[in-house]
Amino acid sequence: MTEEKATIPIKDKYLLTIREAAEYSNIGINRLSRMLNDPYCSFVLFNGNRKLVKRIEFEKYLSESRSI
């Protein structure tokens, strides 16, 4: 018996992986990684060594920014 993993749409997720955030925002993974390394980044959440993106705060950041 195979188990199917339920997929939640990105718009309904609170936290995104770097790959999901890159796909969602059309920003490259490398650029997004550099943004998350900034000590003043407000939309990063660390789960151990893993970096996750807070989607709502990320959207606010993008809507208020003119360039990245």
Long-range contact list for 38-46, CB < 8 A, 24+ apart?
Answer: 45/15
pLDDT-based confidence at residue 6 (cuts at 50, 70, 90): confident
Decide if 40 contacts 34 (C-beta within 8 A): no
- The token pair at 67 is 């360039």
CATH match for 16-64 among 1.20.58, 3.40.50, 3.90.550, 3.90.105: 3.90.105
Cα separation, 23 vs 20, in Å, equals 5
Q: What is the pLDDT of residues 8-50, one digit of tens each?
A: 998 899 999 999 999 999 999 999 999 999 999 999 999 999 9
Cα separation, 3 vs 6, in Å, equals 9
User: 24 CB contacts (<8 Å, ≥6 apart)?
Assistant: 10, 16, 55
Q: Where are the domains of the chain?
A: 16-64
